[in-house]
Structure 1
Amino acid sequence: MRTSEVNVYNIMDAKPKKGFSPKGGKQRSFKGKDSMGSRLGAKPGATKHFTPYNNNNNSSGINSQKKNTFGRKEDAGKKSPKFGFSKDAPGKRKMSAAEDRGEHKKKKLSHGNKGGESEKTNWAEYKQKKKELKSFRQQTERKDIYEVIGRAKHIWEALRRQDCSAEKKSKLMEELKHMIQGKVKQLSFAHDSVRVLQWFIRFASDAQRQEVFDALKDDMVTLSKSKYGRHLVKKLLMHGNKPLVSSVMQTFRGQVRPMLRHATASAIIEFAYNDKAVLAQRHMLTEELYGNTFTLCKSSLCPTIEKVVEANPEKLQGILEEMKLILTPMAQKEQVIKHSLVHKVFLDYFLFAPDKTRAEMIESIREAVVYMAHTHDGARVAMHCLWHGTPKDRKVIIKTMKSYMVKFATGEFGHLVLLSIFDCVDDTKLVKQTVLAELLSSLDEVVSNRFGKKVLLYLLSPRDPDHVLPETIRLLQSGDSNAHSKKDTATRRKELLDVVSQPLLEHLRDNAATMVMDKGQSVIVRDLLATASGDRSAAMTAVAQLAGAELVPGGADGQLHVAEHPAGHLVLRWLLEQDAALAQAGRTERFCRILLDTVGTKNLQTWVNVNRGAIVLSSLLKSEDQGVVSDVRSVLSAILPQLRKMSDNKGAGILVEQLSKQ
């Protein structure tokens, strides 16, 4: 044996051996409600004693007292006994076929059995007890004002009735005034009593409203944050006179920022700013969002950031830094970024911020721009983000607007954002797939809307003074000098026009009567047939077919002929006058020829019976197509004596003058 092995054995022999003990090993603990003992039915922390299954139903109980001899020598070679859990256990009760299928008979309780008698619930008694319990609980909680609330609600119900006379209303208001005196604050936070106060404010005099405000002026901010109390603050703003409204807004001074971050109070601030505040009060509400430097520099002579920067240009950098710290977190909260008060401050920031700082702000708020476009200032903030944002910023903004394009197009301010997209985004493929695809799939809604119509007209005739206000044109021109739009303007407009032309022409072909006879949509018909790319003859034919019927003065079946219709006859005149421009552009379509071939010379003669029809014929005589002019002249010359007799028809007089000229 080697030396190393000897040393190992010596060390092992030197270690003392422990004697065997059944408790020497590590025992499993059964503590707690999830222990094994608890799962087996015993008390938590204990084990359940195992009792073998007894196969013999011996009443003497002898077998139950015998010891278990399983495992002895004499049992060698015998099969081990099977316990009750075994399938083939001897003595196991066999289930009948019906029981094996689960068809157990249900035991019915007889009415005579007192132990199993089921009494029917008396719901009337149950509801009465529940009502009494609720009344007791309210009485306990409200203590001294419980009876006041009960009586006040009865008065409220009487005041709400339409048949309540002025005299009765005056008495009830006086009674209610004495009842709530000194208890206004306690009544302002409960869902039922606050409604009483709302109606009291609605019908109260200015002096009575002032008394309510005096009782609550220290808690106006708390009430604004209350689920029910906020309605009381809103009623004071709605029905109060100017001094009272001013006093309510003064209680918000210094608390605007935390109130804007509160879901309930922010709605009160927004209502006060939008609907009730005058200019000075708006400045007061927004001054907290400009930072401490602005607050120190502003005065009655310099209430706005424009005046402050003009008087203190060196303070601009500090003001902008503080504004950025305040505004950036607000852009992350949807309920805050929706408010027009915040939009005004954002717009001022973009107007004064340098390029680098402005780019950082655009990157931080680009995903929240979609929530700002519904207000006057918010739409302009979105336009600045599109103008001065990088291509990546523009793509993110447009992607967040997805599925809302129709809402943008039909919005009073949102449609301006789409006009900015058409002006500055070079990625026309993105514009086509994201913006135009949604608009073209909902043309009925867009065309019939006054703002949606402007969006379509902007695609057909960009910045046309006939459709776009001068101040809007100046606003859009301020974004032309941005640093990120590289594509030629004419190319961008041509690509967008090619996308919308064919769908619009098809829409006109299928809905010619609606568009031509509508005063607003008729303008789209004129510009579409003047500028659209592609074949326009099908759409022109659809318009001409409206004039194919014989003209009956005053209309047939209550429907005016298109040549007599206020909007329809203008469309015919516009399209006839546009033939000269089409000829100069090298186009082959001529509306005058299509109209003459569709209507026919016989029906054209009936148009002279109405003034508007005669004016349309006058436009036909001025057409560029001399063949059309010759045909119309020969038709009208045949009825020249009849035209001379129409002294009350100014259009007929114009035709006589034109026909008299060689």
Structure 2
Amino acid sequence: MLKNGSKEQREIIINAFRGHAPTLLRIKHAAEVLEYAYNDFANAHQRYNIITEFYGKEFILFREDKIRSLTEILAEKPEKKAVIMKHLDEIIGAVNEKETLRLSILHKLMLDFFENCDEEKKNNLLDSLKDKIPEFIHTPDGAKLAIKLIWFAPVKERKLIVKNFKDLSVKAAMEHYGHRVLLALFDTIDDTVLLNKVIVSELANDMKKLIEDEWGEKVIHYLVHPRDGRGIDKREIAFLAEGDSNPHSKKEKKDRYGQLYTGITENLYPYLAANFEELVFEANKSSFVVACLETTSQYDLFDRQVPADGRKSCNEAIVELAKKDFVPMDQEGFHIIEHQSGSFVLSAILRCDSALPEEERLSVALVEGLTKQQLGSWISCNKGCHILLKMLQVGGPKVVEKLKAAISRKHLDNYKSKGANLLKAHLDGKTGK
């Protein structure tokens, strides 16, 4: 009836639950019906009324029009805290079993309880859930509870939490909410050897699946660039930062993140090189590619060093794409020079050349891998001129010499794009390097 009934019929069913939610949650099949109604059909106020029934009989008899968090309720009525905590403690203890643990209603109740109970009750809840974390991270409240439990947990319990992600790391990484729990583990766990062995190695072995997935890519991005606003929402970064003051994480961030990064590099860069064309021409993947290949800046939380072999193999992949015949405005498919995402990647990687040894520079790889004719053909489009200009600005004497030999000034004078004008000015010595 919930699934196929009219809006009015659903309202009648949901209203019929009034006063019975705590009883229904204790019965397996009834709990599933309550969960279905709560998640799929109840509006925000109806969900609030269902949850507050677990706070005690007073909230069944006297319903409120204003939706408030339990913390707000307790701030206004501190005398009710003992009774409400007792009700929540009892219901959580009664239904905290495998079948019920996946229900979002229970996740909400446990989160309310954890955020408002005393230290002893927090420890009791942690003790009952520490080996079950992966089972309830698929909902927003479940993931938030898991993260807060990780922050709260002492070192011994943290190790157990990590071990329980064995064979479940990839699944968690690809979940809308579950992936956030992995980020919290990366932020918090000092035993990076264990993290790399149990979680990071599993992620590394399924690189393709993760990078192709919206949430999986964010997890890999975080291992490369933790707390990077290009990879995750700034509100999520702010929430994760709340755990930085936990009393059990002792290792320096730069050491923790650096050690986790080394666990992903062996698989990450060969994957990028082998799939460069697919990744670079996809707008929402190009920024990920850049994040993986850019050099460390003042905004990074650790000294990230791309393995030399990994960078060289990616440069070689770029050269192979750049070698393709350049046909301006080719409707069959833009050349990497003219493609919006492709030229963005080239520009971003070239900006890093000055910080790299010559053998790892993209500008060097391009002038060594392409003919004069191929390089010179880029002047016929605006983006191509910008790339050539960038190469002249960051390249060493060998790069500059080869580019000047490749660029036909006579042909360049025929083009009036902004890039062409800037390139001409640079060649004429009218701009600084």
2:129 is aligned with 1:365: yes
1:534 is aligned to 307
1:191 is matched with which residue? none
Matched, 1:653 2:384: no
Cα–Cα, structure 1 residues 600 and 316, in superposed 2: closer, same or farther, change >3 Å?
farther
- Give the superposition deviation at 1:390: 2.0
Question: Alpha-carbon deviations, 1:475-508, whole Å to 9, x = none?
Answer: 1011111122121111111111111112211212
Bigger Rg, structure 1 or 2: 1
Moved over 6 A (4+): none
Matches within 5 A, 1:489-568: 489-530=253-294, 531-535=304-308, 536-555=311-330, 558-568=332-342
Q: 1:538 to 1:318 in 2, by over 3 A?
A: same
Q: Provide the residue aligned with 1:53 in structure 2.
A: none
Residue equivalent to 1:90: none
Partner letter of residue 395 of structure 1?
Answer: K
- 1:613 corresponds to: 384
Instruction: Quote the sequence identity (%).
Output: 28
Which has the larger displacement, 434-443 or 591-600? 591-600
Structure 2: distance between partners of 1:253 and 1:295: 7
Contact 1:293 1:318 in 2 (8 A): no
Paired residue type of 2:33: I
Q: Deviations over 1:192-243 (max 9, x none)?
A: xxxxxxxxxxxxxxxxxxxxxxxxxxxxxxxxxxxxxxxx24322xx324xx
Cα pair 1:298 1:304 within 8 Å, conserved: no
Matches within 5 A, 1:50-65: none
| 1:157-168 superposed matches below 5 A | none
In 2: Cα distance, 1:431 partner to 1:369 partner = 15
Q: Which residue of 2 aligns with 1:342?
A: 106
Contact 1:387-1:424 within 8 A present in 2 as well: yes
Conserved in 1, the CA contact under 8 Å of 2:221 and 2:291? yes
Q: How does 1:36-435 map to 2 (within 5 A)?
A: 232-236=1-5, 239-241=6-8, 244-292=9-57, 299-300=64-65, 303-332=68-97, 334-435=98-199
Deviation, structure 1 residue 350? 2.1
1:576 to partner: Cα distance: 0.3
How many angstroms does 1:549 deviate by? 2.6
In structure 2, C-alpha distance between the alignment counterparts of 1:447 and 1:438, rounded to whole Å:
14
Task: Rate the CA distance shift 1:417–1:292 in 2: closer, same or farther, 3 A.
Answer: same
Higher normalized helix content (fraction of residues): 2
Amino acid across the alignment from 1:480: D
For residues 164 and 100 of structure 2, the distance between their equivalents in structure 1, rounded to whole angstroms, comes to 18
Whether the aligned pair in 1 keeps the contact of 2:172 and 2:178 (CA below 8 Å) is yes
**Contact 2:136/2:142 (<8 A) preserved:** yes
Letter in structure 1 aligned against 2:20: Q
Distance 1:461 1:442 in 2: 19
**Retained in 2: the 8 A contact 1:409–1:446?**
yes
The TM-score with structure 2 as length reference comes to 0.89
Deviations 1:54-113 (A, max 9, x none): xxxxxxxxxxxxxxxxxxxxxxxxxxxxxxxxxxxxxxxxxxxxxxxxxxxxxxxxxxxx
Of 592, 603, 622, the match for 2:374: 603
The root-mean-square deviation of aligned C-alpha atoms, in Å, is 2.3
Alpha-carbon distance, 1:607 to partner: 1.2
2:36 alignment partner AA: F
Q: Helix, strand or coil: the match of 1:258?
A: helix
> Does 1:629 find its partner at 2:413?
no
| SS in structure 2 of the partner of residue 552 of structure 1 | coil
The CA deviation at 1:298 is 7.0
Amino acid at match of 1:466: R
List per-residue Cα deviations over 1:21-71 (Å, max 9, x = no partner): xxxxxxxxxxxxxxxxxxxxxxxxxxxxxxxxxxxxxxxxxxxxxxxxxxx
SS across alignment from 1:451: helix
- 1:306 and 1:547 map into 2 onto residues whose CA distance is 58
CA distance in 1, matches of 2:30, 2:234: 39
Q: 1:465 to 1:452 in 2, by over 3 A?
A: same
Identify the match of residue 477 of structure 1 among 236, 241, 245: 241
Q: Does 1:468 align with 2:254?
A: no
Aligned equivalent of 2:360:
589
Q: Which runs of 5+ in 2 are unaligned?
A: 295-303
Q: Which amino acid aligns with 1:658?
A: H
Measured in 1, the distance between the counterparts of 2:60 and 2:17 equals 16
**SS in structure 1 of the partner of residue 200 of structure 2:** helix
Distance 1:294 1:355, change over 3 A: farther
- Residue pair 2:2, 2:10 contacting (<8 A) in 1 also: no
**How far apart are 1:522 and its partner, in Å?**
2.2
1:575 to 343, 349, 352: 349
C-alpha distance after superposition, 1:613-637 (max 9, x if no partner): 222212212215243234323432x
Query: CA separation of 1:449/1:507 partners in 2, compared to 1, >3 Å: closer, same or farther?
Result: same
Aligned residues between the structures:
419
Distance 1:233 1:294, change over 3 A: closer
Corresponding residue for 1:175? none
Q: What code does the residue aligned with 1:346 have? A: M
Change over 3 Å in CA distance of 1:495–1:587 after alignment to 2: farther
Distance 1:355 1:491 in 2: 30
The 3-state SS of whatever aligns with 2:19 is: coil
The 1-side partners of 2:69 and 2:228 are apart by: 34
Query: Cα distance, 1:587 vs. partner?
Result: 8.5
Give distance in 2, aligned partners of 1:515 and 1:355: 48
Letter in structure 1 aligned against 2:16? T
Q: RCO higher in 1 or 2 (8 Å CA, sep ≥ 6)? A: 2
- Answer yes or no: is the 8 Å Cα contact 2:174–2:216 preserved in 1: yes
Aligned residue for 1:50? none
